[in-house]
Amino acid sequence: MSQCLKIVVNGDDAGNRLTGFIQKGAKKYELEGVVQMYNGQLQIVACGSKENLDHFMDLLHHGERTIKLSRFMVEPVFKSKDYRGVFRIIE
């Protein structure tokens, strides 16, 4: 069963250093969705299997130690768009 999460992250230079890391993780775990900077926050919508989303969340929490996250908010969302099986960075 597929589900979607909205993840909001604040951190030091999060937009420049995390977007590539996030996209690689999304590809590794076969997720689709988008990541974009909005009002100084990095907002991620990731859709995929529950197991792969759990692995992706673990990766975000533990995988990038050079950036200190000051906020990490996660909430479930309904899939409102067709991401066509890809994960995009919107600038």
* Over residues 26-39, mean pLDDT: 91
Residue of 8, 63, 13 lying closest to 36 (CA atoms): 8
Give residue limits of the domains in the chain. 2-90
- Round to whole Å and give the CA distance between 71 and 89: 20
pLDDT mean across residues, the chain = 83
Handedness of CA 57, 75, 47, 21 (dihedral sign): negative
| pLDDT at residue 54, as a whole number | 95
Tens-digit pLDDT profile for residues 33-58:
999 888 878 889 999 999 999 999 98
| pLDDT at residue 1, as a whole number | 62
Q: In this structure, which topology does domain 2-90 adopt according to CATH? A: Alpha-Beta Plaits (3.30.70)
pTM of the complete model: 0.84
| pLDDT at residue 68, as a whole number | 63
